[in-house]
């Protein structure tokens, strides 16, 4: 397998951002584009035409086009686990067989949703979605972003095994009107199964006669769900080849499809498909996920940036940073190439972020004047998500734009403590509206950007062996296994 050669990228010596704008009047046009209701602007990064060309050559060396085709063709590109990565088939972009299979599963989900709406399972007002990682972060983001005005169902997503998380949801739900959705690709995740058992005990402890009759399973392991006690008619399967952190398009998106309505769910899939087609068919230098990954890699490989921050200037997208953390860090936080060779270059930077304008009053000090260079991504929405008047939204968006300008421009001052070095990069994603279609496109953009990063880094983004050791050790701790002195002491202090 080809290994990435970063020497040309590292040899690039772009001028300062201010100079780059001065030198090239077409810079904004070259480094911005519009796809699927999203305006992308990388002009305030140090990407130049030379850099884009150098990255395009690296992409050719690393076989990006072939890997992209293999992804959409449903080839077994998850080489370490010997299977395809077929999340795009969920939105209609994949091999005919996998698209047909995904449509079959979606039809089954829709039929169950129709039955729930017809009260075939009794009255349902509350949906308790239990899952963790990819089985929680995606659906929770969808419901939080798009479901604020949806009053048909009250949805709670419970992931943490800390009983306080479950209790908070149970305290506000009516057991007689609660439906439990157990979301687990493997149906073996200990946190999810314990939360599910406790939720079931809560139903029966509160007089629900047939608690299992109120349970739906969302899983790629339907046999395990049936064995656990879920009736086969309420198991909503999805394909094993859909990875956990890429699964919100499948039956894992059930609470969103129910709470937002089937039409909205389909629009979200269509928006994602539009981004997929853009990714598949557009030349690299006008391709949004590709250009975003080029900027990511420039800062990681040539400028030594160890983190990258995303700030959502929209309360509806407050869960975006957590969602991105799993997507990017679980996919590309690796230290060996797809064929098992150790890497000698940094892989995924640490993804972090927050919500604007809150973050301006907490962490932006470091972005403006700290010693570390952090590429920043701003995400905003032109249409406000509230009826509080224009002043709020105007101030919100103007703050976002001003932060990007300030990071770039900096400010001189005799007193160094009051000086801003400037030349600090940011990119901006401006959504026309936060509707299901645009949100679908945004999330597909992030998935494909993660994929491009992986290909150029030489990684397989679709496995996650790094999470297993901790799970093994937790099981060993349950069984009283031997640990180091510190860990044994902590166990002893907590449990005697
Ligand atoms: O532990 C990591 C992980 O396997 C994630 O990849 C996954 O999204 C999460 O756990 C939940 O897994 P499952 O959906 O199988 O319960």
Q: Is the pLDDT assigned to residue 263 strictly greater than 90?
A: yes
For 229: left if phi > 0, alpha if psi spans -120 to 50, otherwise beta; the answer is left
Q: Is residue 227 part of a domain?
A: yes
337 located within any domain:
yes
Structural domain total, the chain: 3
Q: Which residues of 156-195 are buried (b: 16+ CB within 10 A; e: fewer)?
A: bbbbebeeebbeebbeebebebbbbbbbbbebebebbbeb
Q: Which residues line ligand 1 (CB under 6 A)?
A: 132-135, 184-186, 189, 192, 244-245, 330, 464, 467
| Cβ partners under 8 Å of residue 293, min gap 6 | 449, 452, 453, 456
Digit-coded pLDDT (tens) for 204-253? 999 999 999 999 999 999 999 999 999 999 999 999 999 999 999 999 99
In DSSP notation, 81-118 reads TTB---HHHHTT-S-HHHHHHHHHHHHHHHHHHHHHHT
Residues 69 and 146 in one domain: no
Name the β-bridge partners of 312: 355, 379
Q: Give the whole-angstrom CA distance, residue 488 versus residue 312.
A: 42
Nearest CA to ligand 1 atom 3: 133
Q: CB under 8 Å to 452, separation ≥6 — which residues? A: 59, 64, 289, 290, 292, 293
Instruction: Please give the pLDDT value at position 86.
Output: 98
Cα(360) to ligand 1 centroid in Å equals 33
> Distance between CA atoms of 127 and 135, rounded to whole angstroms?
15
Q: How far apart are the C-alpha atoms of 70 and 74, rounded to whole Å? A: 6
Q: pLDDT tens-digit profile of 338-379?
A: 999 999 999 999 999 999 999 999 999 999 999 999 999 999
CATH number at residue 25: 3.40.50.10490
Query: Are residues 414 and 478 both part of a single domain?
Result: no
Same domain (yes/no): 68, 101: no
**55-73 average pLDDT score:** 98
Query: 284 with 386, same domain?
Result: yes
Query: Distance between CA atoms of 188 and 349, rounded to whole angstroms?
Result: 30
Query: What average pLDDT is seen over the chain?
Result: 97
Task: Average the pLDDT over each of 244-258, 428-442, 479-493 and give the range with the smallest value.
Answer: 479-493
Q: Whose CA is nearest to atom 1 of ligand 1?
A: 467
Q: Which two tokens stand for residue 387?
A: 């009826």
Average pLDDT rounded to a whole number, residues 21-48 = 98
CA–centroid distance, residue 427 to ligand 1 (Å): 31
Q: Are residues 436 and 290 in the same domain?
A: yes
Q: Which residue CA neighbors atom 13 of ligand 1 most closely?
A: 184
| pLDDT 10s digits, 279-330 | 999 999 999 999 999 999 999 999 999 999 999 999 999 999 999 999 999 9
pLDDT score at 456: 98
Say if residue 274 is in the same domain as residue 179: no
Q: Please, what is the end-to-end C-alpha distance for the chain in angstroms?
A: 52
Q: In angstroms, rounded to a whole number, what is the distance separating the alpha carbons of residues 496 and 492?
A: 5
Return the residue matching tokens 């160094």. 416
Pocket test for ligand 1, best of 185, 194, 243, 245 (most atoms within 8 A of CB): 185
Amino acid 496: pLDDT: 87
pLDDT per residue as tens digits for the range 433-453: 999 999 999 999 999 999 999
User: Does one domain contain both 477 and 445?
Assistant: no
Q: Are residues 222 and 307 in the same domain?
A: no
Residue 477 three-state SS: helix
Alpha-carbon gap, residue 231 to 212, rounded angstroms: 8
Radius of gyration of the chain (CA): 24
**Residue 477 is part of which domain span?**
468-496
Regarding whether 131 and 34 lie in a shared domain, the answer is no
Please state the pTM of the whole predicted model: 0.98
Angle at 326 between CA 325 and CA 327, to 5 degrees: 95
> Rounded to the nearest 5°, which phi and psi values hold at 157?
-105, 120
């Amino acid at each position: 397998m080809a290994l990435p050669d970063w020497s040309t990228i590292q040899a690039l010596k772009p001028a300062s951002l201010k100079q780059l704008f001065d030198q090239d009047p077409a810079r904004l046009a070259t480094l911005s584009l519009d796809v699927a209701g999203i305006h992308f602007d990388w002009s305030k990064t140090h990407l130049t035409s030379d850099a884009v060309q150098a990255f395009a050559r690296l992409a050719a060396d690393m076989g990006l086009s072939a890997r992209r085709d293999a992804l959409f063709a449903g080839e077994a590109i998850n080489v370490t686990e010997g299977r395809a990565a077929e999340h795009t088939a969920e939105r209609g972009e994949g091999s005919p067989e996998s698209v047909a299979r995904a449509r079959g599963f979606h039809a089954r989900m829709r039929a169950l949703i129709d039955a729930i709406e017809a009260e075939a399972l009794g009255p349902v007002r509350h949906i308790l979605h239990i899952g963790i990682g990819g089985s929680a972060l995606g659906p929770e983001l969808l419901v939080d972003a798009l479901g604020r005005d949806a009053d048909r169902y009250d949805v709670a997503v419970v992931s943490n095994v800390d009983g306080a998380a479950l209790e908070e949801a149970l305290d506000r739900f009516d057991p007689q009107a609660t439906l439990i959705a157990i979301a687990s690709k493997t149906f073996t995740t200990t946190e999810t199964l314990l939360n599910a058992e406790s939720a079931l005990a809560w139903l029966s402890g509160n007089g629900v006669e047939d608690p299992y009759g109120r349970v739906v399973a969302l899983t790629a392991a339907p046999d395990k769900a049936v064995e656990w006690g879920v009736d086969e008619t309420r198991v909503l399967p999805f394909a094993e080849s859909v990875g956990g952190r890429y699964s919100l398009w499948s039956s894992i998106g059930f609470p969103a499809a129910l709470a937002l309505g089937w039409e909205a769910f389909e629009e979200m899939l269509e928006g994602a498909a539009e981004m997929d087609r853009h990714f598949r068919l557009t030349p690299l230098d006008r391709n949004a996920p590709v250009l975003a990954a080029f900027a990511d890699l420039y800062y990681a490989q040539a400028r030594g940036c160890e983190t990258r921050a995303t700030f959502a200037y929209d309360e509806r997208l407050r869960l975006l940073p957590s969602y991105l953390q799993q997507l990017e860090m679980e996919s590309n936080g690796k230290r060996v190439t797809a064929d098992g060779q150790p890497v000698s270059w940094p892989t995924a930077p640490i993804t972090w972020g927050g919500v604007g304008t809150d973050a301006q009053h907490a962490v932006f000090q470091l972005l403006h004047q700290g010693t570390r260079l952090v590429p920043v991504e701003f995400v905003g929405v032109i249409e406000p998500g509230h009826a509080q008047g224009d002043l709020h939204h105007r101030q919100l968006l103007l703050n976002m734009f001003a932060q990007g300008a300030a990071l770039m421009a900096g400010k001189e001052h005799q007193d160094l403590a009051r000086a801003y070095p400037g030349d600090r990069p940011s990119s901006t994603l401006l959504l026309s509206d936060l509707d299901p279609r645009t949100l679908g496109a945004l999330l597909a953009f992030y998935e494909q950007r993660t994929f491009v990063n992986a290909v150029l880094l030489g990684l397989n983004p679709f496995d996650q062996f790094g999470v297993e050791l901790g799970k093994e050790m937790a099981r060993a701790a349950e069984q009283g296994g031997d640990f180091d002195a510190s860990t044994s002491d902590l166990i002893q202090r907590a449990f005697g």
